[in-house]
Structure 1
Amino acid sequence: MDPVIVAGAGPVGLALSLALAAQGVPSVVLDEGPGTDDPRPARTVVLRPDTASFAERLGCTTLRDEGVHWVGWRSLRRKQLMRQQPLGEDGGPAPLHIPQHALARGLREAIAHQPLVRVVTGNRLDSLEQDARGVSVHTRGPGATWWRGSHLVGCDGARSTVRKLLGIRFPGRTGVERHAVAALRAELPWPGEAVLHRQPPWRSGGAEVSARPLPGGVWRLDWLLPSRDELVTPDALIARLRDTLAGWCGETPPYELLDTGVYTLHHRLAKRWRVGRAFLAGDAAHLLGAVGTQGLDEGLRDADNLAWKLAHAWHHGASDTLLDSYQAERRTAVAARLRAADQSLPILRGGGGLRTYLPGGVRGHDTLLSDGHLGFGPLGAPPAYPHSPLAPPYAEAQTAVGTPPGAPVDDVRVTAPDGTTARLRERLGRGRLLVVLVAPGTGVWDRRHWLTAGVMPRLAAAVTALPVRAELLVTEGYPGASAHSVLLVRPDGHLVAAFGGVRPSALYEAADATRGGDPAADTPSVPSPSAPPSESRSESSAPSAPSSPAAPDRSVNIN
C-alpha cells in the first residue's frame, strides 16, 4: 500500500510522520527547504504536559537537553504581586519552554532512526489529484516528479499550498496582537520562573511584558505592542529592553543579546479540514496565539488525533465516520479556543461590556490571562471531545469516574500483563485501544496470581474479542473510580467510557463506536464535489507513477 504523504516539514509534519511510523505506517515528508532549521533563539514554543509527553514519546530527546520546565509562575500589575504559583510535582503541571529549532531538530534526529519515514528536501508541492484509492501529488524542484500516497496531510503552514489546491477558505482576523521579542542571556530576580508583568511602571513598559526562562541563563522577553502598525526600530527595542531590565533589577544588569524580532498574531480557522483523502493540520488549518494560547500545542494535538485514525485506515480500512471525526473533534476544539481568546481580548486589552462577567476585577483578569499561559481553563486546558462522532451511546453498564468521557485520562501508573510498569501516557500512540482495570492491591501480588484470579481471565477474553486491537493494563487506582472499574482509552489518550466491572458486550460496542463502525459498511471516500477541478479527474487519467527513466517512481520505496 502507498505511504501517507505529508506536505511540510515543520514540527507538526515531522511529528505526524513519526506518530504514523510508531503505528507501522510509512510516510513521505515533502520538505521544500534544505532539511535544516536555522537557529532563532527568540523563536520558542511552550508545550503543555500532554503535548510535551507526545513529543517525548516520538523520540525527541532535545526536550530534556534544550528545554526547561518552569519552576513557578509570577504575575505582577504595576508594582504589585498578583499571583505566585509553584509549578512541578507539588504545584501542578509545568509547561515546557524550548526553542522551536531545537524541537524540530530533535524530531529530525528521531526520524533519522526511523526507516518508515522518508524526508525529501527541495520539493514543493504544486498540484494534487485524488481518486477512490489514493492521492497523487506533483512537486517542483531539482527532482520534480509525481508522488503516490494513500492519503495526503497538508502541514505546510499558514500559506498552505494544500489548502489552496483544495479550495478551502481560511477566514478569520488579521493582526489580533503584535509583539516585540528578544532572547538574551542575563540574571533576572526569578530564576526558573515565568513572569507576566501588566502595566509595568517604567516609561517604555507598555501594556504588558513577559519573561520566560530557557536553559543556560537565557530568557525570552515579549512586549505587547500597540495595535497600530508602528515601526519598531532596533534602537527603540534596545531602549525598551534596558528599561525593562532596570525596572526589574533596580539597574540594567549585564546582558548578552542573542536575537530579536517583531511578530504579528492572526486568528484564522479553515472551513474544512478534510476533503476526500486529503487533510489539513497545524497552521494550515488554524492560526491562534493571543492571550497565551499556543498554536504549536494545537498542531501537535492535530497530529496525535489524526495519526491513529490514518493508521487504522491504512491497516484495516476506515469508515467515513472515523476519518470525519478528525475535523469534528479538532476543528471544534480549536474553534472553542479561538472563541475564548476573542471573548477575552476586550476584557484584557481595554474594557468593553464583557468585563462585567469577570468577578474580582483586576485579579479576575489576571487569573484569566495566567490560565492561558499555564494551560488551564478555556484558553489553555487540553481539549475534550464529549460530542465526538466516535462517542458510544450511553449504556447502563457505564459508570462515572474522575475523567468525563471524551476528556484526556490521568497519567496514572499502570502494569502490563508481562509485569512491566509505566505511566499511562507511555502506552499511548501505538495504534491500539487501552483497556485499564482498576484493581487495588495488585502491586503487592505476584503477577502469576492476579493474572489468573478474579475478573482478569474474563476481562482478558473480552479484550481479545474486541473488533480492534487493544492492550490490557492494570492500575492500583484511578481518580473517582471504584475497584474493578474498567476504562476504555483511545490511542491518543482520551477516555471512551468507563464501566462498572467487566461488561464484554458493552466494551465491544464502545470499541466498535471508537473505530467508527465497520469500514465495510461505507463506500470508498471520493473527492468532494466542491474540490477544485484537478481533484475530480478520473482514476484512469491520474498519473499514478511516472514511467520515464529520468523521473523514477518515488512513491513506494521508503529508505
Structure 2
Amino acid sequence: MDETKVSRIDEPTAGRVAVVGNGPTGQTTALLLARWGVPVTVLDTRPERDPIGSKSICQQRDVVDVWESVGAGARIADEGVTWATARTFYKDQELFSYTLTDPGRSPFPPFVNISQARTEQILDECIARRPLIDVRWGHEVVDVAQDDTGVVLTCRTPQGQVEVTADYAVACTGARGDRVRAALGVTFDGQSFDDLFLICDIKADLPGWANERRFYFDPPWNPGRQVLIHPCPDSTFRIDWQVPGDYDLAAEEESGALDERIRTVIGDRPYEIVWKSVYRFHARAVNRMRVGRVLLAGDSAHLVAPFGARGLNTGVFDAENAAWKLAYVLRGWADEELLDSYHDERHAATMENLEVTSATMDFLVPRTEEQRRRRRDILTRALTDPAAVAQVDSGRLSEPFWYVDSPLTTPNPSRPFTGRPPRGAVPPAGPGIIAPDVPISDPETQRTRFREIARDGFLLLTTDGVDTDAVSQAAAQAARGPVRLVRLADIDVTGALAEALAARPEEVWVIRPDAYVAAVLNAPSPAEVVSALQRAQGRRTVPAEDADQETLPADV
C-alpha cells in the first residue's frame, strides 16, 4: 500500500467545527470529531450540566460500540443493567417474548439500561481529556449566518453578545431548538399525540425483573392503556404509564392515588420515587438535515415516540455519520459533496424511525373506533393464535439503519437486501449493512475486535483468491485518506469473521470509517475497486469499463 495514503487520524486539522448543544448527541459528535483530529467548540445554553432524571435510558449495542471508540462504551456497559429479552403481555397473560440476536460476537449486550444523566457524566469525563474540545456553557445561539467560507454563530451570554466562528456546525439543540431551526429555514412538521405518559423511576426490590423489558397491554392496574417497565442500575425500575390527556400528577400525588398506582404494579413492598415526570410524545422531522455548512442531528432534526428506544440511539448514529464525513472534508480527503450524503442517509433513517414508531403509536393509542376494534381483535387472538402474535406492536426495538439505497453504497445482486427482518433479528451482512463485530487477532495493530480496525479509515478486507497487489494499487489511487488492506485469513484465526460475513472466495469487502459495508465486490477488477471506493467517498465514479483509461495508474 502506498504509505502516502495512510494518515494518522489524530493529527489536528486547521478547520474547526462548532457543535450546538451539549447533550449526548452533541457530546458524541464532539468526541468523534476530536478523534479524527478536528478541533471542536461546543456551545450550550445552560450554565452547567443539569443531571435531572433518568431521561433516555436504553442504549443499544451498536451505540455502546460507537462510544467505545472514544473511550466510554465499556464503562457505560459495565455500570448499566444489561438485558436481552423483551416480554409482552395482554392483561395478565404473556403473549410472547423474544431474545435479541447478535450478528457477530460483540462484547456488548443488546441493550444497556443506564440513566442519560450518568451517560452524560461519563462522556463529559472523556471530553475533559480531549484538548481539541472547547466547551462553552451559557452560550445561547440566537442566530446562524454562513457563507462559502464558514459559519458565524451569534450567542447570547451572561457577559453579552458574542460571535463564534467555525468552518462547519452541527446543530444538536434538541427538541426545543426552534430558534436554530428557524435561523436555518427548515420545517419541523409532524404531529403530537393527545395522550400523556407518566414516568416514575422506582427504587425497589423486584425479584426476576432485573434483566428484561416488560410491556403490558391493558393490564388490570391500568385498564384500557399501556405500561412499560425497564430495569435500571441500583435496583431502580423505570415505569411508564399511558394516562389520559387531562392527567394531573400533582393532584394524584396529593390524593394518594400515585402511591396506589405504583403499588398495583410492585405490590406491598418498600419503594422510593427517584424521579417522576409527565410528557407528551411527538413525531416530527426537519425537511433537510444539511443546510449549507450546518448539519442537524438528534432531537433537533427528529422526534419519535420512545417505544423502541429510537431517540438517543438514532442521535448517536447521526453523530458518527456527521463526524467522519466532516473530518474527511476538512482534511481534504473528500469533496464537500460528501456532506450531501449525510442528509440522504440520516433523513432516510429518520423516515424509517417515524414509520416504525408511528405504527406503534397507532396500535398503542388507536384514534378511531376501527383502530380500536382491530387492536382488541389482534390482542385477543394472540392469546391462542401464534399467527396473530406478529401483528402485536409493542415497539420495534432500536437497530442501526441500513444504507442499502445510499448513494455511497455499491449494490451486489449476489447479496441482496431482503428487507426489514423480524423483530429482534438483523439482516445478513452485505452492502449497506453495518459490519458485524467479531473477535479477531490483528498482528499489526494488536487489536482484538473487527470494528476497532474498521473505524480508522476505509478498510479493504480480501478473501482467498484475490490479487491483493492489484487491489492495493487501485485503492492507493482511489482513496485520498486512510485506507488499509487486510487479508481475512491474516486476522480471522477462529473463522468467526468469515462465518459472520458468510464470506466467499475472491471477494473484496469495502468497509467505511463508520464500520458500514460500502461494497462487496466479487473477483473485482482494479477498476471496480476504484469505482466502489470513489462512490463510498461521495465522489463522481467513472464507469468500470472506462476506469482503466481514466483513473488507474499505468502499472495496474
Q: TM-score normalized by structure 1? A: 0.80
Q: Does 1:40 align with 2:53?
A: yes
Task: Name the residue aligned to 1:216.
Answer: 234
CA distance in 1, matches of 2:354, 2:455: 27
After the TM superposition, which residues 237-248 of structure 1 pair with which residues of structure 2 at under 5 Å, given as runs?
A: 242-243=259-260, 246-248=263-265
1:17 paired residue number:
30
Structure-2 change in CA distance of 1:256 and 1:188 (3 Å): same
Secondary structure of 1:403's partner? coil
CA separation of 1:500/1:241 partners in 2, compared to 1, >3 Å: closer, same or farther?
farther
Give deviations 1:71-104, integer Å, cap 9, x for gaps: 5322221121122345587999521111011111
Unaligned runs of 5+ in 1: 440-452, 520-559
Aligned: 1:406 with 2:446:
no
Identity of aligned residues (%): 29
SS in structure 2 at match of 1:50? helix
- Alignment partner of 1:259 out of 266, 275, 284: 275
Hey, what's the Cα distance between the residues in 2 that align with 1:466 and 1:341? 40
Counterpart AA for 2:476:
T
CA distance in 2, matches of 1:167, 1:311: 25
Does residue 211 of structure 2 align to residue 192 of structure 1?
yes
Alpha-carbon distance between aligned partners in 2 of 1:353 and 1:347, rounded to the nearest angstrom? 7
Which residue of structure 2 aligns with residue 381 of structure 1? 399
> What is the letter of the counterpart of residue 504 of structure 2?
S
Q: Which has the higher contact order (CA 8 A, sep 6+)?
A: 1
Looking at structure 1, the residues matched to 310 and 110 of structure 2 have their Cα atoms a distance apart, in angstroms, of 15
Partner of 2:291: 275
Are residues 1:424 and 2:428 paired? no
Q: Give the 3 Å change call, closer, same or farther, for CA 176–241 of structure 1 in structure 2.
A: same
The answer as to whether partners of 1:245 and 1:253 remain within 8 angstroms in 2 is: no
CA distance in 2, matches of 1:425, 1:238: 54
Aligned to 2:186, the other structure's residue is in SS state coil
Which of 175, 200, 206 matches 1:158? 175
Letter in 1 for 2:132: L
Residues 451-477 of structure 1, C-alpha deviation per residue, up to 9 Å, x if partnerless? Answer: xx9845444444434323212333431
Q: What is the aligned counterpart of 2:476 among 439, 464, 472? A: 464
Whether the aligned pair in 2 keeps the contact of 1:199 and 1:206 (CA below 8 Å) is yes
User: Residue type of the partner of 2:358?
Assistant: D
3-state secondary structure, aligned to 1:506: helix
User: Structure 1 residues 385, 335: CA separation in 2 closer, same or farther (over 3 Å shift)?
Assistant: same
1:135-534 superposed matches below 5 A: 135-143=151-159, 144-160=161-177, 161-175=179-193, 177-190=195-208, 191-202=210-221, 204=222, 207-226=225-244, 228-233=245-250, 235=252, 242-243=259-260, 246-248=263-265, 251-316=267-332, 318-350=334-366, 352=370, 355=374, 361-362=381-382, 367=390, 372=395, 375=397, 380-392=398-410, 402-416=428-442, 418=444, 420-430=446-456, 432-438=457-463, 455-468=467-480, 469-473=482-486, 474=488, 475=492, 476=495, 477=498, 478-501=500-523, 503-517=525-539
SS of alignment partner, residue 36 of structure 1: coil
1:509 partner amino acid: S
> How far apart in 2 are the matches of 1:207 and 1:399?
43
CA distance change for structure 1 residues 170 and 399 in 2, over 3 Å: closer, same or farther?
A: closer
SS at match of 2:97: strand
Report which stretch shifted further, 496-505 or 108-117.
496-505
- For the 8 Å contact 1:395–1:506, the answer to whether it is kept is no
1:295–1:471: structure 2 CA closer, same or farther, 3 Å change rule?
same
Q: 1:100 to 1:55 in 2, by over 3 A?
A: same
Aligned to 1:540: none
Partner of 1:74: 87
Paired residue type of 1:437:
T
For residues 396-439 of structure 1, the C-alpha deviation after alignment (integer angstroms, 9 at most, x for no partner) is 9x766932321222222344451624222223443x11212345
- Contact 2:84–2:111 (Cα < 8 Å) also in 1: no
Equivalent position amino acid for 1:510 in 2 = A
Q: Tell me, yes or no, if the aligned pair for 1:129 and 1:137 is still in contact at 8 Å.
A: yes
Identify the residue that residue 11 of structure 2 maps to in structure 1: none
Distance in 1 (CA, whole Å) between partners of 2:235 and 2:260 is 20
TM-score normalised according to structure 2 size: 0.80
SS in 1 for 2:530: helix
CA spacing shift, 1:503–1:47, aligned 2, 3 Å: farther
What code does the residue aligned with 1:181 have?
I
Cα deviation 1:358-400 (Å, max 9, x = unaligned): 7994467765666735x2xxxx3321122212233x579x766
Instruction: Name the SS of the counterpart of 2:30 in structure 1.
Output: helix
SS at match of 2:249: coil
Q: Secondary structure at the match of 1:224?
A: strand
Contact kept in structure 1, 2:320 and 2:514, CA below 8 Å: yes
Matched AA of 2:321: N
Tell me the SS of whatever aligns to 1:233: helix
**1:346 touches 1:352 (CA, 8 Å); kept in 2?**
no
1:108 aligns with 124
The CA distance in 2 between the partners of 1:37 and 1:95, in whole Å, is: 25
AA partner of residue 170 (structure 1): F
Partners of 2:15 and 2:240 lie apart in 1 by 45
RMSD of equivalent CA atoms = 3.1
Deviation at 1:345, TM superposition (A): 3.0
Q: Which amino acid aligns with 1:47?
A: Q
Is the 2:88–2:394 contact (alpha carbons within 8 Å) kept by the matching residues of 1?
no
Aligned equivalents of 1:176 and 1:491: distance in 2?
Answer: 42
Structure 2 unmatched runs, 5+? 1-13, 418-427, 542-556
Q: Which amino acid aligns with 1:95?
A: F
| Pair 1:335–1:399, CA change in 2 (3 A) | closer
- Separation (CA, whole Å) in 2 of partners of 1:142 and 1:70: 44
State the alpha-carbon separation in 1 of the partners of residues 247 and 253 from structure 2.
11
> How many pairs are equivalent?
494
* 2:478–2:530 contact (8 Å) kept in structure 1: yes
- Alpha-carbon shift at residue 29 of structure 1 (Å): 0.5
Look up the SS of the partner of 1:352 in the other structure: helix
Quick one: which amino acid aligns to residue 345 of structure 2?
E
Provide closer, same or farther for how the CA distance between residues 389 and 337 of structure 1 changes in structure 2, counting only shifts above 3 A: same
Kept after mapping to 2: 8 A contact 1:243/1:252 = no
